[in-house]
Structure 1
Amino acid sequence: MSSPHAGATLQIWRRLQELKEKKAAIVLDGNNLDIASIIAVARHDIKPTISKDEHLAKQLELSVNTLADYLSHQYVVYGVNTGFGGSADTRTSDVLDLQVHLLQHTQSAIITEADKNPASNSEREPSHVMPPAWVRGAIVARANQNLRGHSAIRLCVLESLVNLLHKDIAPMIPLRGTISASGDLMPMSYIAGAIAGNPDVFVQIGKGKGARVIPASEALKETGLSPSGLGPKEALGLINGTAPSVAVASLVLFDAQKFALLAQMLTAFASECMGGNVEWAQSFIHTARPHTGQVEAASNIRQFLSGSKFVDGLESRKRTGEGLWQDRYSTRTAPQWIGPYLEDLLLAQRQLEVELNSTSDNPIVNPTGGEVYSGGNFQAVTVTSAMDKTRLALQMIGRMLWSQVTEIIGPNTNNGLEANLNPSEHENYTMKGIDVNMSAYMSELAALTHPVSSHVMSAEMHNQGINSLALISARRTMEAADLVAHMSACHIYVSCQAVEMRANHIRFLSTVHAKLKNASADGALSELKLQDVQTKALAKILCPIVESTWYHWNANTWRDRIPHVVDAVMSPVTEFLASNENNCTMPMLIAFKKDFQNMTESTANEMFYPSPTIAPSDVAAQLGHGSAQLYLWVRSTLNIPLHCGLRDDPLYNAREGLPTKDKKTIGSRVSAIYESLSGGGMMDMVLQSLDIVRGEVVLCASPSAHN
């Protein structure tokens, strides 16, 4: 079964790796710009070039000449010899000054002095300008759209646009003030102002600690660039388009695609944490309802669970037993929950890819037909549509992750793990704060999900009676993706804690079971003086009782479970002895109870904190291929250990005069995972673990998973 969403995501990622490794180049020609190239330019300092194709240059020249011929006939051309928008009933012969008028009225949004001098902002007031990555993405997108030869813009002007990227010049663009109606007029006007050398348009030059904010005129002079004079339609052609919206949308769409894949891996991880019965992932269920996204999600989750010793239902079937027979909705219906949104994300990706290589402008020139047409190709609703879908997909992913995390932390739902995932012998509230944080993130994420498109207000003398709000939608989607990153980091941290505790409980119970089955003199039932066959028969009765009782009494610490287990075995032991007419006296029963309690306590003392717990390598060996990758990354690459309560708290250690080295708050640990996700390291690992073979997504286990 093919996996179109995973395949599309991997295709972007592979192309991005090629660009980052300089194995491929970004050559702009108006037809072949992809999302990976936007990301490479925006986030990874890859420099694009303009194609040297002679036909392209001739097409651009013909476009400019077509407009000039139109004007020589005294034809009226919107935005060239008319006013703008609702003022298009005015006429002018000052066509060059008109372009300056356009920039003047669109360069009207807010940039503060603190924005121009970030070092002075010690109070960390929110920025009023776009991140440089968004600006770089907008520049490359607009250059590509204009290179299609329908905007009457000279090649030299487009070269000036691309030269900003080569000189590390990022115009400062106000964050707010565009309704993405006639495209993103306001944001692009600041970019146009930068290449024109406006002394009151500011740019950031350079990156990192060496970055400076100076006027565009100074930046051009300093870097050896010449200001671009703007011809009769060149200001309008530069700003009257969707480039900022589609650039930001491209960045966040890829982030969302990755989080959708990660969410499937985390669903497998959550199932392992809770010792699930994952027959819900069986292919028969999903081919019986063959929505492509659902089928793909189930297939991916099966691959991520492959090799897991913590779940039943795939490589082995659970036929009998006690307790909750089927997993709860947050994992069991994950393919049905996330599947439709994999399909939506694919549609959103196609919409953006088309937009990146479309003519977004008005009016547009038909060079071969010698005509100029007024229309509405600047209307960015296709981007709004893509972003509203993407944001809803992120909300659905987040809601699923929220449910999974709360169920892993809660003692009533996590199938026997301690409340708040406390591995200590003392009362602790380890993951309680994470539980609260997840609800805060989820509430904010849900509030962001409301469609931006339903809030359109008429603007500009009611000329822009309908407008797309595309950049606002993209901005909101970027916020949503960041919240899902927060939630994913929490999920990963909680899941690593939970699965390690699960593995330790399994190890403990296996040891107790072995001692119960041991018919020798040092076996757990030796005080009862049973025959070997009787020992095995009684052990068969007691093992499931020990296990179910141990997992049932999970509201407090591991030590608090022991008395309940001891009490639970006494009645079946007595009944067994009576039914088998064993000559067992009361002193022998009392001795057995004491001996069994000592055995249980000593076994637990050897395995649970503060004694050394199970080794991470032993945990990873039992995990499915997908979660093993995440678990080893956290434990080995990020060096984040199991959290064991107060003794891991820096303040507690400082107060007690104990070493504080390597002691971190829970927030610092989760922050390290968040940074690894957002910085790309962990996500690259996740994507590297996937490969497309014959149209089917399979997981390639990393070498570390076998160590």
Structure 2
Amino acid sequence: MTGPKMSPHAGATLRLWKQLQEIKDKNQIVLDGNNLDISSIVAVARHGVKPTISTDEHIAKQLELSVKTLSEYLSHKYVVYGVNTGFGGSADTRTSDVLDLQVHLLQHTQSAIITDADKDPAGNSEREPSHVMPPAWVRGAIVARANQNLRGHSAVRLCVLQSLLDLLHNDITPMVPLRGTISASGDLMPMSYIAGAVSGNPDVFVQVGKGKEARVLPASQALKESGLSPSGLGPKEALGLINGTAPSVAVASLVLYDAQQLVLLSQMLTAFASECMGGNVEWALPFIHDARPHTGQIEAASNIRRFLNGSKFVDGLESRKRTGDGLWQDRYSTRTAPQWIGPYLEDLLLAQHQLEVELNSTSDNPLVNASEQGSGEVYSGGNFQAVVVTSAMDKTRLALQMIGRMLWSQVSEIIGPNTNNGLEANLNPSDHENYTMKGIDVNMSAYMSELAALAHPVSSHVMSAEMHNQGINSLALISARRTMEAADLVAHMSACHIYVSCQAVEMRANHIRFLSAIEGQLKDVTSNGAFRDLGLKESQVETLAGLLHPIIESTWYHWNANTWRDRIPQVVDVVVAPVTDYLATNEHDCSMSALIAFKKHFQRIVQNTAGDMFYPSPTIAPTEVVSQLGDGSAQLYTWVRSNLNIPLHCGLKDDPLYNAREGLSTADKKTIGSRVSSIYESLFKGGMMDMILKGLDTGRVSPQVCVSCFAQK
């Protein structure tokens, strides 16, 4: 998936990831007002990269010109909104106290809720919900605001923008309230707390440091301890700092970075689900999608084919399924996945473009059009209206909801005995009744319900505000916050899907191994063979084996409502009639006692073979499973079984409480929730997505399998 054949969405997702790796390696970002990207936001917000301002003289000169142009404007007694007028619906007032007016602006916008528990997270033993933004969001907003102001349209001095970045360089993160902005005149409230930190407000609080060493201090004290001076704010500088889209676009950038990867992962999970259910995946063939040539649909099908490449668990790509019984075509959750995912790949590319443009736009008001000839102008407009961010986030959140709905359906079908093509109910590999994956089934419905509730457009809930001056407003940050929640829910669902799929495909591989062993016993012409008591010729054994194997296979998979042990009597009983018919048709003389002996011997074969292959006996080795998987699922399965050391879950005897009660060791026993949590944590923070994207970048999608890497059950 590299080079010219890289598909659009996968290519964009990979580019974001590669850019982030390069930035982290260089540990450097230089801001110039025109080249900030989503990866840079992620690098600063989540990975501690410290941005600097370009030393390009043109940038410094443009900033200086914008300040001079505003000063000249004011010298003519011209009216400039927010500089010598009131704000919003109060813009009909006038003042000559231009510096105090900027303090007035911060005063009325620093009006949201931060609790004592927020200021003392170490003492919050009751885990009260936070009323402040995660520090990563705030760091992202700082770098976005600095970059937007660097464009020289805001009359904000270079030293003030440097003061913004000084916060990052000294690990000072303002505590910004989570709620209180409608993203109308930009995100005034969130940015006012950041501006309050820069200006050293003693009742604006900041976090200094990270982790266990983090402290919460008044901004004035934090600046003093760091050797920084409070930044005085000129005639438009408070307005220039807070009047814009920086918090919204920063949070949206973080969300989109994750969402792009989750949607790519969903295509890999669709391939995995098809393997779990032994699918007929001819639905992924190029002809079908070329006949309906939507770009996203074609890409999704192509990606899924790539992830299925080499799989021994599916038909329809390398080999066609021409005859047979059972459900002939896969259910909608996999068969129509390219059509389901495709439109949202296109939407997400548009969302990414919208955010990348916004990161390098001037989004405050009024705007200064500075000129070296001294004939600059100041214009009032509405670039702070962040609907472009709302649009990007509402699209992204709907895409996540649709992806989640598909994953929910796939997991439900994999767990359910009526839809999973022969695997045991609840994916129980034990010989005793267990409810193994039933809790996951319920959890997925809970996640899906919450995700669906979030999918409603935020933009449809706009309320007029601020003396009806803000009659329409974007709610962009609210939309970004809701989308962040949606992305987290899809990450929950993806972790469940991966855990369930690893369980299912291992069970599928074990069933295939068992049925192959039974087929070998049917074809065995020695005294150990299944037909030894019937006195058949070698050719007759071969013919009868070919007749019985599909009957045994379909019967074995059909009786899957309980345990593997419950299938054995059904398989033994089903072979008697066809064997009798064959003997009669071929006029082969066989006594009733010989038929009874055959049935008993065949029953022993099935019982012994199953007993040797299914739990509590050692089941199939992970190395044997991974060698049969497609290129995509092989990565996920290897990661779970090898890197995370998560084994097949075999029911009650894997439960820590059961083992503790029985006086057995609990050292390697975990709840199902702990196993899924390990996968969830590994998705972004533990390197799983990095592993997947690195494979795409190098063109080596499937991992090199190391036998010793796998934990043994």
| TM-score, scaled to structure 2 | 0.98
Deviation per residue, 1:301-357 (Å, 9 max, x gap): 000000000000001110100000000000000000000000000000000000000
CA–CA distance in 1 between the matches of 2:321 and 2:41? 49
Equivalent position of 1:507 in the other structure: 513
Deviation at 1:527, TM superposition (A): 1.1
Deviation at 1:521, TM superposition (A): 1.6
Q: Is the 8 A contact 2:635 2:701 kept in 1?
A: no
CA–CA distance in 2 between the matches of 1:442 and 1:699? 33
- Tell me which of 254, 263, 266 is aligned to 2:266: 263
Quick one: which amino acid aligns to residue 634 of structure 1? V
Equivalent position of 2:20 in the other structure: 16
Deviation per residue, 1:362-417 (Å, 9 max, x gap): 00000025000000000000000000000000000000000000000000000000
- Tell me which of 186, 189, 192 is aligned to 1:189: 192
- Tell me which of 237, 240, 244 is aligned to 1:241: 244
Q: Is the 8 A contact 2:66 2:370 kept in 1?
A: yes
Matched, 1:419 2:425: yes
Equivalent position of 1:44 in the other structure: 47
Equivalent position of 2:711 in the other structure: none
User: 5 Å matches for 1:583-622?
Assistant: 583-622=589-628
- Tell me which of 156, 159, 162 is aligned to 2:162: 159
CA–CA distance in 2 between the matches of 1:496 and 1:419? 15
Quick one: which amino acid aligns to residue 55 of structure 1? H
Matched, 1:359 2:362: yes
Quick one: which amino acid aligns to residue 337 of structure 2? A
User: 5 Å matches for 1:345-384?
Assistant: 345-368=348-371, 370-384=376-390
CA–CA distance in 2 between the matches of 1:20 and 1:145? 22
User: Quick check: 118-127 or 230-239, which moved more?
Assistant: 118-127
Matched, 1:27 2:33: no
Quick one: which amino acid aligns to residue 124 of structure 1? R
User: 5 Å matches for 1:81-120?
Assistant: 81-120=84-123
Q: Is the 8 A contact 2:626 2:634 kept in 1?
A: yes
Deviation at 1:19, TM superposition (A): 1.1
Q: Is the 8 A contact 1:303 1:699 kept in 2?
A: no
CA–CA distance in 1 between the matches of 2:549 and 2:436? 30
Matched, 1:309 2:312: yes
Matched, 1:134 2:137: yes
Q: Is the 8 A contact 1:304 1:699 kept in 2?
A: no
Deviation at 1:699, TM superposition (A): 5.0
- Tell me which of 50, 58, 62 is aligned to 2:61: 58
CA–CA distance in 2 between the matches of 1:647 and 1:536? 41
Deviation at 1:686, TM superposition (A): 1.2
User: 5 Å matches for 1:541-690?
Assistant: 541-690=547-696
Quick one: which amino acid aligns to residue 469 of structure 2? N
- Tell me which of 253, 256, 259 is aligned to 1:253: 256
Matched, 1:6 2:10: yes
CA–CA distance in 2 between the matches of 1:614 and 1:519? 26
Q: Is the 8 A contact 1:67 1:365 kept in 2?
A: yes
User: 5 Å matches for 1:387-406?
Assistant: 387-406=393-412
Deviation at 1:680, TM superposition (A): 4.7
Q: Is the 8 A contact 1:85 1:460 kept in 2?
A: yes
- Tell me which of 487, 491, 496 is aligned to 2:493: 487
Q: Secondary structure at the match of 1:703?
A: coil
Deviation at 1:700, TM superposition (A): 2.8
Matched, 1:295 2:298: yes
Equivalent position of 1:171 in the other structure: 174
CA–CA distance in 1 between the matches of 2:285 and 2:700? 17
CA–CA distance in 2 between the matches of 1:558 and 1:643? 15
Give % identity.
82
Equivalent position of 1:695 in the other structure: none
User: Quick check: 421-430 or 654-663, which moved more?
Assistant: 654-663
Deviation at 1:706, TM superposition (A): 9.2
Deviation at 1:269, TM superposition (A): 0.2
CA–CA distance in 2 between the matches of 1:537 and 1:122? 72
Q: Is the 8 A contact 1:430 1:643 kept in 2?
A: yes
CA–CA distance in 2 between the matches of 1:699 and 1:17? 18
Equivalent position of 1:465 in the other structure: 471
Q: Secondary structure at the match of 2:697?
A: strand
CA–CA distance in 1 between the matches of 2:291 and 2:176? 51
Q: Is the 8 A contact 1:293 1:341 kept in 2?
A: yes
Q: Is the 8 A contact 1:348 1:386 kept in 2?
A: yes
Q: Secondary structure at the match of 1:391?
A: helix
Deviation per residue, 1:48-107 (Å, 9 max, x gap): 000000010000000000000000000000000000000000000000000000000000
Matched, 1:516 2:518: no
Deviation at 1:2, TM superposition (A): 4.9
Matched, 1:704 2:708: no
CA–CA distance in 1 between the matches of 2:652 and 2:50? 50
Deviation at 1:704, TM superposition (A): 2.8
Q: Is the 8 A contact 2:684 2:690 kept in 1?
A: no
Q: Secondary structure at the match of 1:170?
A: strand
Equivalent position of 1:442 in the other structure: 448
| TM-score, scaled to structure 1 | 0.98
Q: Is the 8 A contact 2:692 2:701 kept in 1?
A: no
CA–CA distance in 2 between the matches of 1:382 and 1:189? 22
Equivalent position of 2:336 in the other structure: 333
Deviation per residue, 1:10-41 (Å, 9 max, x gap): 0010000011122x631000000000000000
Q: Secondary structure at the match of 2:378?
A: strand
Quick one: which amino acid aligns to residue 341 of structure 1? Y
CA–CA distance in 1 between the matches of 2:433 and 2:190? 55
Deviation at 1:701, TM superposition (A): 2.2
Quick one: which amino acid aligns to residue 77 of structure 2? Q
Aligned residue pair count = 701
CA–CA distance in 1 between the matches of 2:62 and 2:639? 52
Q: Secondary structure at the match of 1:65?
A: helix
Q: Secondary structure at the match of 1:149?
A: coil
Structure 2: gaps (5+ residues): 709-713
Matched, 1:456 2:462: yes
CA–CA distance in 2 between the matches of 1:157 and 1:107? 19
Quick one: which amino acid aligns to residue 702 of structure 1? P
Quick one: which amino acid aligns to residue 43 of structure 2? A
CA–CA distance in 2 between the matches of 1:308 and 1:641? 21
Structure 1: gaps (5+ residues): 693-697
CA–CA distance in 2 between the matches of 1:543 and 1:233? 83
Q: Is the 8 A contact 1:621 1:705 kept in 2?
A: no
Q: Is the 8 A contact 1:629 1:705 kept in 2?
A: no
CA–CA distance in 1 between the matches of 2:28 and 2:138? 20
Quick one: which amino acid aligns to residue 609 of structure 2? T
CA–CA distance in 2 between the matches of 1:148 and 1:220? 27
CA–CA distance in 2 between the matches of 1:172 and 1:670? 32
CA–CA distance in 2 between the matches of 1:662 and 1:7? 40
RMSD (CA atoms): 0.9
CA–CA distance in 2 between the matches of 1:291 and 1:706? 42
CA–CA distance in 1 between the matches of 2:60 and 2:354? 28
Q: Is the 8 A contact 1:620 1:705 kept in 2?
A: no
Deviation per residue, 1:514-556 (Å, 9 max, x gap): 1101112211111111011111111111000110000000000
Q: Is the 8 A contact 2:207 2:214 kept in 1?
A: yes
Deviation at 1:678, TM superposition (A): 3.3
Q: Is the 8 A contact 1:632 1:705 kept in 2?
A: no
Deviation at 1:691, TM superposition (A): 2.7
